[in-house]
């Protein structure tokens, strides 16, 4: 139905896509897989006319096309539903579906919107999707899953031949995913070509008829699910020879330290700890001086775990114990007081306070824990900031420059400094190496290992499996917001990957 061949796309000197191909067939659900930065979204943008490729051809039902805008590609019959529902919650279901192209009445459509016709057509569409909702209800009153289906209804209302779904399931729970899938199966039966982008491997095997994998902007291959079992799929995405475990990086001291941990009561311990829609209940212990790695794909519940532990979101099941004492955090300040620290994944939104100076950003958490009084004197602040700037090698002209002017890696280090200044017992790092260069990554990892040797317990969350392997004493694997298992130090990358992608054994 839709065939893309030899697609190249460069942004400046950077090649984002090189010779990528994709072949969507009518009546098939086609999964597009790849890690972050593999080029999936760029490819989708090209298919939908948001950007134009530098080379390559697109053909729809055998005819070459070159959509110049999303509207143009929509007219050709290529409809897209994006990850976040980008509809208007204050408008009704029907208004959302027809937004921008309301049916009109009267001569040349000059009169009012044809409300009855809009409702009629909306009902017909919803019936096609097996959706029983009132088209006059405001969209915001419906659950997210239904909103997602309304977005699909909108996409179909333009006589789509090709439907592109960009991570439609990331905000849905299991039963909602199932109802979405039954709709997709119906649509597949009616001859639509569906492109499905997701990070959830089990969903790929539940619905996809064909899989295309991209890696670093290149086409890796196209398979049917039967040809490509999950470990092979992960290997294709990650691109490492999975057989080669990174045994060389294992620390010889590991066995000795493991013994030392025996008999020691955990610093922090979770029991059946979870929250509806965010994280299935799980149990986890963190000991002093231990680095526990958390591996899992995007959306596997890694960030949710960290946020729940730190009191940023409210847990609604299980217990969290700090040094044997059960606590229930309702505000991060409580977690901080008990010696927890958390470097969030979203550095810009949750981490830095951009217009404050590096110095103020570094002292913020320490001062917040101390309260309003006593205030850390400016001289002391400078001294503290200077110490961490040197210790972590933060490249800042001086500690009084706004932190927003630092590079990403240096901002990350400054955030680490903010928490180190509070001398935490438990350090939670969520994707601390995201978006920073290799050298900075290594420095950060060395620092984390040094801290652990000094007795700090660290929860290290990363999507880079080799990093997790290199640094962790134990690895907790999350999959589909569940704990899939726990692996000891010395596990090979292949074993971790197996656990990451293996379907949940009931």
DSSP code for 142: S
In the complex, what is the shortest distance from the CB of residue 314 to another protein, in angstroms, rounded to a whole number? 14
Query: In sequence order, what E strands does 114-206 have?
Result: 162-166, 193-197
Q: Which residues of 208-247 are buried (b: 16+ CB within 10 A; e: fewer)?
A: bebbbbbbebbbbeebebeebebbbbbbbbbbbebeebee
Closer by beta carbon to another protein, 338 or else 487: 338
In the complex, what is the shortest distance from the CB of residue 226 to another protein, in angstroms, rounded to a whole number? 45
C-alpha 290/C-alpha 309 separation (Å) is: 17
Q: Which residue has the tokens 């066995």?
A: 255
Closer by beta carbon to another protein, 278 or else 479: 278
Closer by beta carbon to another protein, 168 or else 432: 432
Residues in contact with another protein by CB under 8 A are: 310, 312, 331-333, 335-337, 342, 344, 349-357, 360, 363-365, 367-376, 378, 400, 418
The total number of residues shown for the chain amounts to 506
In the complex, what is the shortest distance from the CB of residue 243 to another protein, in angstroms, rounded to a whole number? 41
Closer by beta carbon to another protein, 379 or else 438: 379
Closer by beta carbon to another protein, 51 or else 401: 401
Residue 329 near residue 386, CB atoms below 8 Å:
no
C-alpha 484/C-alpha 476 separation (Å) is: 8
In the complex, what is the shortest distance from the CB of residue 378 to another protein, in angstroms, rounded to a whole number? 5
C-alpha 217/C-alpha 21 separation (Å) is: 11
In the complex, what is the shortest distance from the CB of residue 336 to another protein, in angstroms, rounded to a whole number? 4
> Which of 463, 434, 19 lies closest to 221 in space, CA to CA?
19
C-alpha 8/C-alpha 20 separation (Å) is: 7
Closer by beta carbon to another protein, 290 or else 360: 360
Closer by beta carbon to another protein, 55 or else 314: 314
Closer by beta carbon to another protein, 331 or else 395: 331
Closer by beta carbon to another protein, 263 or else 371: 371
C-alpha 42/C-alpha 80 separation (Å) is: 14
CA-CA distances (angstroms) from residue 111 to 34, 99, 115, 342?
49, 17, 11, 57
Query: What tokens appear for 134 in the block?
Result: 């009132």
Closer by beta carbon to another protein, 17 or else 306: 306
Query: What tokens appear for 336 in the block?
Result: 């901080």
Question: Which helix (H) or strand (E) is 325 found in, with range?
Answer: strand 325-327
In the complex, what is the shortest distance from the CB of residue 354 to another protein, in angstroms, rounded to a whole number? 6
In the complex, what is the shortest distance from the CB of residue 391 to another protein, in angstroms, rounded to a whole number? 19
In the complex, what is the shortest distance from the CB of residue 77 to another protein, in angstroms, rounded to a whole number? 41
* No. of helices (H) and no. of strands (E), the chain: 17, 20
In the complex, what is the shortest distance from the CB of residue 58 to another protein, in angstroms, rounded to a whole number? 41
In the complex, what is the shortest distance from the CB of residue 19 to another protein, in angstroms, rounded to a whole number? 41
Closer by beta carbon to another protein, 107 or else 373: 373
- Supply the angle between the helices 378-391 and 408-420 in degrees, to the nearest 10: 120
Closer by beta carbon to another protein, 378 or else 503: 378
Closer by beta carbon to another protein, 278 or else 418: 418
In the complex, what is the shortest distance from the CB of residue 351 to another protein, in angstroms, rounded to a whole number? 6
| Phi (first) and psi of residue 3, to 5 degrees | -130, 125
C-alpha 493/C-alpha 504 separation (Å) is: 19
Query: What tokens appear for 483 in the block?
Result: 């704990």
> Which of 413, 295, 285 lies closest to 343 in space, CA to CA?
413
> Which of 417, 435, 444, 442 lies closest to 348 in space, CA to CA?
435
In the complex, what is the shortest distance from the CB of residue 229 to another protein, in angstroms, rounded to a whole number? 40
The SS3 call for residue 184 is helix
In the complex, what is the shortest distance from the CB of residue 94 to another protein, in angstroms, rounded to a whole number? 29
Q: Which residues of 76-113 are buried (b: 16+ CB within 10 A; e: fewer)?
A: bbbbbbbbebebeeeebbbbbbbeeebeeeeeeeeeee
């Amino acid at each position: 139905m839709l065939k893309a061949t030899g697609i190249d796309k460069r942004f400046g000197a950077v090649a984002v896509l090189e010779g990528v191909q994709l072949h969507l067939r009518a009546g098939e659900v086609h999964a597009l897989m790849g890690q972050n930065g593999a080029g999936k979204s760029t490819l989708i943008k090209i298919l939908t006319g948001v950007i134009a490729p530098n080379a390559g051809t697109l053909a729809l039902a055998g005819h070459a096309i070159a959509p110049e805008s999303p509207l143009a590609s929509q007219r050709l019959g290529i409809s897209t539903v994006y990850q976040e529902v980008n509809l208007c919650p204050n408008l009704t279901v029907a208004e959302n579906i027809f937004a921008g192209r309301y049916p009109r009445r009267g001569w040349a459509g000059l009169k009012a919107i044809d409300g009855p016709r809009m409702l009629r057509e909306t009902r017909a569409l919803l019936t096609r999707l097996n959706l029983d909702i009132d088209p006059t209800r405001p969209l915001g009153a419906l659950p997210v899953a239904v909103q997602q289906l309304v977005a699909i209804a909108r996409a179909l209302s333009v006589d789509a031949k090709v439907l592109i779904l960009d991570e439609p399931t990331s905000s849905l729970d299991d039963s909602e995913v199932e109802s979405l899938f039954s709709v997709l199966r119906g649509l597949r039966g009616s001859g639509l070509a569906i492109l499905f982008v997701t990070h959830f491997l089990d969903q790929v095997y539940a619905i996809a008829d064909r899989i295309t994998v991209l890696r670093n902007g290149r086409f890796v291959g196209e398979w049917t699910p039967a040809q490509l079992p999950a470990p092979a799929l992960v290997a294709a995405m990650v691109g490492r020879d999975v057989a080669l475990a990174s045994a060389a990086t294992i620390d010889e001291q590991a066995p000795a330290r493991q013994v030392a941990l025996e008999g020691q009561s955990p610093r922090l311990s979770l029991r059946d700890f979870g929250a509806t829609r965010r994280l299935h209940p799980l149990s986890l212990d963190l000991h002093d001086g231990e680095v526990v790695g958390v591996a899992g794909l995007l959306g596997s519940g890694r960030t949710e775990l960290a946020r729940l532990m730190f009191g940023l979101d409210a847990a609604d099941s299980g217990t969290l114990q700090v040094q044997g004492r059960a606590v229930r955090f309702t505000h991060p300040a409580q977690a901080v007081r008990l010696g927890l620290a958390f470097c969030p994944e979203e550095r810009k939104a949750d981490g830095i306070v951009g217009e404050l100076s590096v110095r103020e950003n570094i002292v913020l958490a320490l001062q917040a824990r101390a309260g309003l009084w006593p205030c850390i004197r400016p001289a002391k602040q400078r001294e503290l900031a200077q110490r961490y700037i040197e210790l972590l090698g933060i490249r800042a002209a001086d500690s009084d420059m706004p932190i927003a002017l630092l590079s990403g890696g240096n901002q990350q280090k400054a955030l680490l400094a903010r928490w180190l200044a509070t001398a935490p017992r438990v350090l939670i790092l969520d994707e601390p190496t995201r978006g920073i260069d290799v050298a900075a990554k290594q420095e950060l990892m060395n620092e984390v290992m040094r801290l652990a040797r000094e007795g700090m317990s660290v929860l290290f969350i990363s999507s880079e499996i080799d990093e997790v392997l290199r640094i962790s004493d134990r690895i907790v694997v999350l999959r589909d917001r569940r704990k899939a298992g726990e692996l000891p130090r010395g596990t090979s990358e292949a074993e971790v990957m197996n656990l990451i992608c293996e379907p949940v054994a009931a």
